Amino acid sequence: MAARTAPEDFSALVQSRRSVRDFLPTPVPPEVLDAILSDANAAPSWSNTQPYRVAVASGAIRDRLQSALTSRFDQGMAAQRGGWLGKLKLLATPGAMPDGDYKVNLEYPEDLQPQRRATGHALYELLHIGRKDQAAREQQMRRNFEFFGAPTALFIFVHSGLKEFSALDAGIFAQTLMLSAHARGLGTCAQGALATWAGPVREAFAVPSHYKLLCGISLGYPSDHPINTFNPGRTTPQSWTLPAR
């Protein structure tokens, strides 16, 4: 099996991929979508089981999901602003409470907080959103549920029986898909946020009950909005390679 990509081309592709958070409405041509899914299908997996399922939402289904998810997001935000009464109202509203298969709004471990905070602050700074501008922050958060304007949203489900290993496989699958999209001039954003509510996605697609919603990916052509220049950078490999004892 000969490698046919020059290492410098591979590095250029991998290192120039960035999360895209503003898309043109231009639809993804079916043959381009097929090619991307076909590349993702080449990803390795645990015993070649491919323990994931993907719901591809375009057109009317995508629009319906955007309505369902943004309305849930709006209800959640209104509840937070409404204090205990607002929260009670949310509890009484069918479907409004997060019903994801996994808890998305995790408490971040203390040692991971600095990097998370730095990334969030840098993004808001780029958008000129102040630290106390709750309304603008909320609006930006809401964009997740509009798929940042992307014409296609993918929802990735993993087999519950393989536990962490199906999530590992789904991660490899997702990165393969995102790199294929990038190579073809499209952009992507992996979104944990899209696993907050599973109900609307399960209503729209025939998802077997043992497949659990792990995350989403927005897919489309990047716009020239400044948000797409955001590069949070990385630590150095020395910061995560372990010293020998």
Ligand X SMILES: Cc1cc2nc3c(=O)[nH]c(=O)nc-3n(C[C@H](O)[C@H](O)[C@H](O)COP(=O)(O)O)c2cc1C
Residue ranges in contact with ligand X by CB under 6 A:
18-19, 21, 119, 144, 189-193, 215, 232
Amino acid at 155: F
| DSSP states along 45-60 | -GGG---EEEEEEEHH
Kindly tell me which of 48 and 229 has the beta carbon lying closer to ligand X. Answer: 229
Rounded to the nearest whole angstrom, what is the least distance from the CB of residue 215 to ligand X in the complex?
5
Kindly tell me which of 66 and 191 has the beta carbon lying closer to ligand X. Answer: 191
Six token digits for residue 1:
């099996």
Kindly tell me which of 47 and 239 has the beta carbon lying closer to ligand X. Answer: 239
**Are the beta carbons of 65 and 57 closer than 8 angstroms?**
yes
Rounded to the nearest whole angstrom, what is the least distance from the CB of residue 92 to ligand X in the complex?
27
Rounded to the nearest whole angstrom, what is the least distance from the CB of residue 190 to ligand X in the complex?
4
Rounded to the nearest whole angstrom, what is the least distance from the CB of residue 155 to ligand X in the complex?
13
The span from the CA of 101 to the CA of 154, in Å, is 16
Kindly tell me which of 149 and 192 has the beta carbon lying closer to ligand X. Answer: 192
Total H helices, total E strands in the chain: 9, 4
Rounded to the nearest whole angstrom, what is the least distance from the CB of residue 94 to ligand X in the complex?
25
The span from the CA of 103 to the CA of 12, in Å, is 35
For 90, other C-beta atoms within 10 Å of its C-beta total 18
The span from the CA of 55 to the CA of 198, in Å, is 12
Kindly tell me which of 127 and 189 has the beta carbon lying closer to ligand X. Answer: 189
